[in-house]
């Protein structure tokens, strides 16, 4: 393993909602993604998902509440909980989730990136 510079990695791509894998530990992937606009409502039946805001702001909607995250904050969405992430402006997000996690929780969507590349 080599050290990872997040700013350098984020500079390697510009598309939104298309995670890139930058590390792996204990059956988990460390992913980077740029978010802008709205994702879809979805859940992950068997996996928790951590959203860490590196840059910008992230809103995670739930059916009963909204969680707003600022730079340097993170939130763990428990498995089975339906949620919809969104960002009004470009946000840089680090995700930690099991390797088995499907991006859209099995829901067909144009936003689904089936094979997320390593960078």
The per-residue pLDDT for 100 is 72
The residues near 4 (Cβ < 8 Å, ≥ 6 apart) are 22, 23
The total number of structural domains that make up the chain: 1
The per-residue pLDDT for 117 is 77
Query: Can you point out the beta strands (E) in the chain?
Result: 20-25, 28-38, 49-55, 58-61, 66-69, 74-77, 84-98
The per-residue pLDDT for 103 is 65
pLDDT in tens, the chain (119 residues): 689 999 999 999 999 999 999 999 999 999 999 999 999 899 888 899 999 999 999 999 999 999 999 999 999 999 999 999 999 999 999 999 888 766 655 666 565 566 777 89
CA distance 15 to 35: 8
* Contact in structure between 16 and 29 (CB atoms under 8 Å): no
Is 27 part of a structural domain of the chain? yes
Would you tell me how many other CB atoms lie within 10 Å of the CB of residue 27? 8
Is 39 part of a structural domain of the chain? yes
Domain span holding position 41? 6-98
Is 1 part of a structural domain of the chain? no
């Amino acid at each position: 393993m080599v050290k990872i510079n997040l700013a350098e990695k984020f500079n390697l791509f510009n598309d939104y909602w298309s995670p890139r894998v930058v590390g792996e530990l204990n059956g988990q992937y460390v992913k980077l993604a740029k978010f802008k606009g709205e994702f879809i409502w979805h859940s992950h039946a068997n996996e928790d998902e951590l959203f860490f805001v590196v840059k910008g702001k992230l809103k995670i909607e739930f059916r009963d509440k909204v969680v707003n995250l600022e730079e340097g904050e993170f939130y763990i969405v428990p498995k089975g909980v339906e949620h919809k992430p969104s960002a009004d402006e470009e946000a840089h997000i680090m995700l930690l989730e099991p390797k088995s996690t499907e991006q859209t929780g099995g829901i067909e969507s144009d936003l689904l990136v089936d094979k997320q590349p390593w960078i």
